[in-house]
Amino acid sequence: MILMGCETAPKPLEEYTLARAAIEAARAVQAPRHSPGFWHQADEAYRQGRLSFKDRDYSRARDEFVRARQAAEKAENSARLIRQKTGDVL
């Protein structure tokens, strides 16, 4: 009798790290205030990614962290642009 092990996805440590860095960068330029739509998307995806990571659902966690990073980068860029247009010092 041959037992086949269930192969799980590897831990998405790089995606987790990149998402966290993008969230921190967006927060540093006040993205929650200046770009709330993208910020909410980033924050929610990051939260879901962390929950999936904790539950060892690494495939879903990877997807959520990628989504969080992308939304956080958009939030950061949008906030920087808005702050520049309004004369708010970065």
Q: Give per-residue pLDDT as tens, 54-89.
A: 999 999 999 999 999 999 999 999 999 999 999 887
Q: Which of 51, 54, 49 is nearest to 22 (CA)?
A: 49
For residues 33 and 83, the answer to whether their CB atoms sit within 8 Å is: no
What's the pLDDT score for residue 9? 87
CA angle 31, 44, 58 (to 5 degrees): 125
In sequence order, which ranges of the chain are alpha helices (DSSP H)?
13-28, 31-34, 36-54, 58-86
What's the pLDDT score for residue 23? 99
Q: Give per-residue pLDDT as tens, 20-41.
A: 999 999 999 999 999 999 999 9
Instruction: Tell me the whole-structure pTM to 2 decimals.
Output: 0.87
Token pair of 33 as six digits: 């205030």
